[in-house]
Amino acid sequence: MASTLGLKVRRGEGEIFRRRLVEMGAFDRRRKIRSEGEDLYMPILELSREAKEELSSLGEFDLVEAEFLVEAPKETVEELLGRKASFEVVGDIAILDGPDREAAAAILAVHRNVRAVISPLTAVEGEYRTRRFRCVAGEARTTTVHKEHGLRYRIDLERAYFTPRLGTERLRVANLVRPGEAAFDMFSGVGPFALLISKRGAKVVAVDKNPEAVRLLRENACLNRINDIVILEADAADLAEQFANQADRVIMNLPHSARDFLWAAMRIAKDGGVVHYYAIAPEDDLFGRDTAFVEEAASASGVKAEILRRGVVRSYAPHEYNIVIDFAVHKPDKAEEAPEAGPGP
């Protein structure tokens, strides 16, 4: 075993740290993670000050010198291809950025669990945020079963939006959940936030207006034996009054237009309730614009928004990032005194 730089974390927080290290390019893939009692030791590369600050937002950790077993070298898609290929894997389907048949063949050769390689024909489009795909190699289909954090999800990539790149963020939010709290997922899709949070003991209301997403969400609840969840096919804004002042936690994972629903989220949240707001922001103004949106919506709703956390979830496009702002909603002593805000002009 070789002694090198490592990250010491609690076993229960290991996966969220591992995923973030991989995303940051700071996980040392040449070495194996090891455990000792209730702690995990992760082999890492040098961390910048910014990287350390980002990791601090996930939980407690220690930088240590530790001994790690060296992994047997494995051929990667990049090594086989001789160049980089951008793709993500959902279940047994690889989604490749373009119709690159050479890259598709390399993916099938390296990732033996992948049975189909597809590429988008369109960008995310329409009211239901879906894409159309072409088959590049392997089986011609868009349906699969994806495993994440111990749960399984039936997915049809052409009928309901899903990305595995939010897996770390979903786990971060789930780790904040307290048993018995009430959570409202405004744009639930096939259920990756809602079902994981439900497994942590929350009483969840999951809403989506896409009938296919709701159908898959119901199937996924059954697949994972989750019965104590309310699933509704609706526009979340139309439910703001029905669920006013009921949620300890509100999830707003609709990054291109969540700002239009801030008033509804603030109405649904209890006094002191936490909202997880997602947006797409330019790299030269990661948080300023959307912080202003939150504060303006709070003012219009007669409540106060206390910013708890602002973070980058993932890169989205050149010079654009998927961000999150967590904020607490503080209401007047009598919630009914707050003005009944609605959509902005």
Helix and strand totals (H; E) in the chain: 9, 17
Q: Is the alpha carbon torsion for 163, 165, 167, 170 positive or negative? A: negative
Pairing of strands 203-208, 229-233: parallel
Contacts of 334 (CB under 8 A, 6+ apart): none
Q: Are residues 173 and 44 in the same domain?
A: no
Distance set, CA 91 to CA 30, 112, 177, 335 (Å): 25, 12, 26, 44
The rounded distance, in Å, linking the Cα atoms of 93 and 289 is: 36
Q: What percent of the chain has pLDDT over 70?
A: 96
State residue 72's pLDDT score: 72
Find the mean pLDDT for residues 204-232.
Answer: 98
State residue 70's pLDDT score: 87
- The answer on pLDDT for 115 being more than 90 is yes
pLDDT digits (tens, 9 = 90+) for 22-44: 877 789 888 899 999 999 999 99
Where a domain ends, among 41, 68, 95? 68
The rounded distance, in Å, linking the Cα atoms of 67 and 224 is: 38
Find the mean pLDDT for residues 154-159.
Answer: 98
pLDDT digits (tens, 9 = 90+) for 289-338: 999 999 999 999 999 999 999 999 999 989 999 999 999 999 998 644 44
Pairing of strands 182-185, 203-208: parallel
- The answer on pLDDT for 124 being more than 90 is no
State residue 333's pLDDT score: 80
Read off the DSSP letter of residue 220. H
State residue 118's pLDDT score: 98
CA atoms within 13 A on the CB side of 79: 6
Range of the domain at 309: 164-337
- Structural contact between residues 154 and 143, judged by C-beta atoms closer than 8 angstroms: yes
CATH code for the domain of 100:
3.30.300.110
Whether residue 153 lies inside any domain: the answer is no
Residue 109 has a CB neighbour count (10 Å cut-off) of 13
Find the mean pLDDT for residues 241-248.
Answer: 98
Binned at pLDDT 50, 70 and 90, residue 48 comes out as: confident
Residue located via tokens 């927080």? 13
Whether residue 323 lies inside any domain: the answer is yes
The rounded distance, in Å, linking the Cα atoms of 242 and 238 is: 8
Q: Are residues 63 and 89 in the same domain?
A: no
First to last CA, the chain: 63
State residue 343's pLDDT score: 64
Q: Are residues 103 and 211 in the same domain?
A: no
Find the mean pLDDT for residues 39-64.
Answer: 89
Q: Are residues 16 and 126 in the same domain?
A: no
Whether residue 20 lies inside any domain: the answer is yes
The verdict on pTM exceeding 0.75 is yes
The rounded distance, in Å, linking the Cα atoms of 120 and 97 is: 7
- The answer on pLDDT for 117 being more than 90 is yes
Find the mean pLDDT for residues 197-225.
Answer: 98
Q: Which residues of 41-80 are buried (b: 16+ CB within 10 A; e: fewer)?
A: bbbbeebeeebeebbeebeebeeeebebeeeeeeeebeeb
The rounded distance, in Å, linking the Cα atoms of 92 and 226 is: 24
Q: Is the alpha carbon torsion for 214, 216, 217, 221 positive or negative? A: positive
- The answer on pLDDT for 108 being more than 70 is yes
State residue 292's pLDDT score: 98
State residue 340's pLDDT score: 52
Q: Are residues 194 and 249 in the same domain?
A: yes
Q: Are residues 201 and 315 in the same domain?
A: yes
pLDDT digits (tens, 9 = 90+) for 268-290: 999 999 999 999 999 999 999 99
Contacts of 235 (CB under 8 A, 6+ apart): 209
- Structural contact between residues 42 and 63, judged by C-beta atoms closer than 8 angstroms: no
Where a domain ends, among 29, 50, 68? 68
